[in-house]
Amino acid sequence: MNIKRLFTFENLYIAAFLLVLSGIISFIVGETSVPLTAAFTSNLSYQTLFETIILFFINVLGVSGLFLLFRTGKANDVRVARTYLFTGLIFIVVWYLLIYELYYTVA
pLDDT tens digits for 30-85?
A: 766 666 666 666 666 677 778 888 888 998 999 999 999 999 989 999 999 999 99
In a domain, 36, yes or no: no
In a domain, 16, yes or no: yes
In a domain, 37, yes or no: no
In a domain, 88, yes or no: yes
Q: According to the model, what pLDDT value does residue 81 have?
A: 94
> According to DSSP H, which parts of 23-48 are helical?
24-29
In a domain, 38, yes or no: no
What is the number of domains present in the chain?
Answer: 1
Residue of 66, 56, 59 lying closest to 87 (CA atoms): 66
In a domain, 54, yes or no: yes
What domain range includes position 9? 3-31+44-105
pTM here is: 0.76
C-alpha to C-alpha distance for 47 and 56, rounded to whole angstroms: 13
Q: According to the model, what pLDDT value does residue 45 have?
A: 66
pLDDT tens digits for 68-83?
A: 999 998 999 999 999 9
In a domain, 18, yes or no: yes
Angle 78-100/49-72 helices, nearest 10 degrees? Answer: 150
C-alpha to C-alpha distance for 21 and 55, rounded to whole angstroms: 8
